[in-house]
Amino acid sequence: MNMFLNFLIAAVFAGTPLLFGTLGEIMSEKAGHLNLGVEGMMAMGACAGFMAGLLTDSFIFALIAAFAAGMLGALIYAVLTVTFMADQNVTGLTLTIFGTGLSNFVGEYMLVNSASSSLKLPEKITATISNINIPGLSSIPVVGQLFFQYNPFVYLGILAAILCGIYLNHTKMGLNLRAIGENPAAADAAGIKVTKIKYINILLGGGICGIGGAYSSMIICGGVWMSNSVNGLGWIAVALVIFASWSPTKAIFGSFIFGAFNILKYYFPKTWITIPSAFYDMLPFVITALVLVITSIRKSKENSQPASCGVNYFREER
């Protein structure tokens, strides 16, 4: 029982960066833009968040820096695809290469110029991002451990998913965004400011991805700087958007499920069959590919991507 409970808790921890990445991509795709640069934006956020925490001793500044770095990556993408109408797939892939390269370069530069052989977050930061014990709730057997003993990032991710769901389904701008994602020409004819809303939501999505990157560098890596800390999570997040049917609330459960696959090798019981650890490393990506295949076969109107996703909108003169 204890092992299974620990497995569920670890799945939540491992799935949290996926949740941020998935939410960010949902915001972009709802605007009609397939952004394959999630990995790059998360990498930029990982570097900016870690370095800001290292230099300022402030968790808040680390979050702001990670969000801003993700937004910067998204701004590059938005300018190229919205304003200059560059190919979305090529731009996203380029952003991933740029973001991961920039992150590794800055991290290596800081490491070379530091007085120690490694970069480690100050104790003040690590204490802030440690698990929170909620009085009266954390002490409840099983339930307390499963729901009320996580770090601030986990609760922030769940809150972000709920707020994104409310925004997309119950606000005027969110409904306008969905209209743009389905038919930008019709939305434009109805007086909706297509370009403005695209920019706002692509940048917002990039910022959310950046926070997911900060989680990877500050939590998963144990507060010690490591290059490539995101390590493919951005690609899984892109597929999770489809798994979650473009729903922020469904993304919560999808992210934790894929988080479970990521840590399965640490909990799978020893059997007479020797399974190489590399099999478990590739398992999340195999599951990702299967999700894409199954989803494409069982495509329905309700659970399909926005109609204009991946297609640049050219506004004709009126």
CATH of 2-133+141-297, one of 3.20.20, 3.90.550, 1.25.40, 1.10.3470: 1.10.3470
Q: Which of 93, 116, 120, 111 is nearest to 39 (CA)?
A: 93
Kindly list the domain boundaries of the chain, sorted by start residue: 2-133+141-297
* Phi, psi dihedrals of residue 120, rounded to the nearest 5°: -130, 135
Tell me the helix, strand and coil percentages in the chain, rounded to 5.
70, 0, 30
Per-residue confidence (pLDDT) for residue 274, from 0 to 100: 72
**Is pLDDT at 230 greater than 90 in this prediction?**
yes
DSSP letters for 162-207:
HHHHHHHHHSHHHHHHHHHHH-HHHHHHTT--HHHHHHHHHHHHHH
Per-residue confidence (pLDDT) for residue 318, from 0 to 100: 47
**Alpha carbons within 13 A on the beta-carbon side of 66:** 31
Q: Which residues have CB under 8 Å from 229's CB, separation 6+?
A: 43, 46, 213, 216, 217, 220, 221
What are the DSSP E strand ranges found in the chain?
A: none
Q: Which of 231, 226, 5, 247 is nearest to 108 (CA)?
A: 226
Q: What confidence tens digit (pLDDT) does each residue in 271-280 have?
A: 556 777 788 8
- Tell me the pLDDT of the chain averaged across its residues: 92
